[in-house]
Amino acid sequence: MQTNLRPFSRFTRESGALMHLSIPIILTQIATQAMGFVDTTMAGQVSPADLAAIALGASLWIPVLLLLRGVIMALTPVVAYHRGARNFESISVEFFQMVWLALIASVLLIAYLVSAQSILEWIGVASEIIPIASDYAFALAFGVPGIALFYTLNGFCEGMNNTKAPMIISMIGLLVNIPVNYVLIYGHFGFPEMGAVGCGWATSLVYWLMSGLLYTYIRAHHHYKTIIHFTDAKPRAKEMVHLLKLGFPIGMNIAICGSIFAVIALLIGRIGAENVAAAQIALNISSMTYVIPMSISFGITIRVGYALGENDELGAIERSKIGIVVSAMVSLIAVATFLLFPEVIIRLYTTDPVISATAATLLAMTALYQFSDALQIGANGALRGYKDTKIPMLLAVASYWGLALPLGVVLGLTDIIVPAMGEKGFWVGILTGLTVAAVLMLLRLRYVIKNRSILPTDTVTAN
């Protein structure tokens, strides 16, 4: 009996530690993702064209947003390292260099968003959607510096081992976003009715508010205000390049995973407004559930990396396995919800019968790939703990861009294999690509673990 209890006891202990580490990250991610959910549901009540415009505008924005977030995420481990070394002067320097990087990136992203109309026309999106989608992207451009600043301040707080403050402010932002959306979308208190474009302005205003609140908190904090010194605000090229080299691979890995869905939405936009509206419902729901295994994967990275730092190879293996199992088990909640309550979920977005019918089919297919997605995300998190990042990124590119997207295009838009399936063909591509990605990531993790058991620890380098 004792033998049977010991593995279960280890599982519950490790899974508890993992979730304790991951839950604050999950809540912060859910709060920020929920703002997109609110935008989509409220705009969907205006018209299918407004819902489609949100989908296309977000599809242009999300990939570059993920890249930006990934680059800024590099600040967290840097701050944590200096905090452990009690080198607070370097924290101030690194913080301001990341602020400069964020502002430079903001200028580039603003130029990208204000060119949305030309990009959508080049892609060949349905003409009735382009004006709304491009105006929505222009409204988002106003908030880009605020968004970048919020992520930078958030990275500082996380590096200081403080995840509670960003979580609370993210919740405040979500609560404020709802009434601001209501006023700007439907036109109240003297504001014009802007529809989907109002969502873009609301998002920008809320992120500026969140940045202001988090900055005020940091400046008022009895310890933080003694760390951040404006005398360190001078740009330093060497430090910025170091942060960029550290953060760019993280951003690319995240962007590769997220951008495939954005590109698919853009391609579906060539079919028509109702099709892309239905696809957006499924994609929006999927993006919300994605943040849970993604946040757990961050926890897996920390747990595995910590074990390796202690030279506890067996502990790292156990944490990798348990973390992947926990990620997969949590995904089953989303699977059950999508399959059991599709009508309830879809009704939050639209009551249009045509869009609802298509969205229900896509939601059932979305449920099928949740498990595969959780497996590959969990395995990727463990690989980051082993400092193996290059090969997993290439595996992701091959699975998403080399398989999922081409297969989706062939099945969805052509008659090469079967009569064009429309948006459903893209979902078959997603399911296939994520399943292959899960298998490849698990095999890669097995390979890395096996080779570490053969090679001396000091010969194992980052990939």
**Residue that is written with structure tokens 């899960």 in the block:** 438
What is the three-state SS of 24-55?
Answer: HHHHHHHHHHHHHHHHHHHHHCCCHHHHHHHH
Which residues, including other chains, have CB under 8 Å from residue 262's CB and lie 6 or more apart? 58, 59, 60, 62, 63
- Dig out the tokens for 41 from the structure: 């549901």
pLDDT, average across residues 208-226: 91
Q: Which of 429, 457, 35, 436 is closest to 261 using CA atoms?
A: 429
Least confident range from 169-178, 414-423, 450-459: namely 450-459
Which residues, including other chains, have CB under 8 Å from residue 317's CB and lie 6 or more apart? 449
The secondary structure of 239-256 as a DSSP string is HHHHHHHHHHHHHHHHHH
- Dig out the tokens for 153 from the structure: 């301040």
- Cα dihedral 356, 361, 363, 369 in deg (nearest 10): -170
Q: What is the pLDDT of residues 144-184, one digit of tens each?
A: 999 999 999 988 887 777 878 888 999 999 999 889 888 88
Least confident range from 58-72, 193-207, 370-384: namely 58-72
Q: Are 263 and 58 in contact (CB under 8 A)?
A: no
Q: Give the pLDDT of residue 457.
A: 44
Provide the percentage of residues in the chain whose pLDDT is more than 70.
Answer: 92
Q: Give the pLDDT of residue 84.
A: 62
Question: Could you tell me the sign of the dihedral formed by the alpha carbons of 218, 224, 226, 230, in that order?
Answer: negative
3-state secondary structure of 103: helix
Least confident range from 162-171, 283-292, 335-344, 367-376: namely 283-292
Q: What is the pLDDT of residues 243-262, one digit of tens each?
A: 887 778 778 877 777 677 76
Buried b (16+ CB within 10 A) or exposed e, 187-198: eeeeeeebbbbb
Q: Are 174 and 113 in contact (CB under 8 A)?
A: no
Q: Give the pLDDT of residue 309.
A: 64
Q: What is the pLDDT of residues 34-86, one digit of tens each?
A: 777 777 777 767 777 777 777 777 777 777 888 888 788 777 767 766 766 67
Q: Give the pLDDT of residue 222.
A: 82
pLDDT, average across residues 224-253: 84
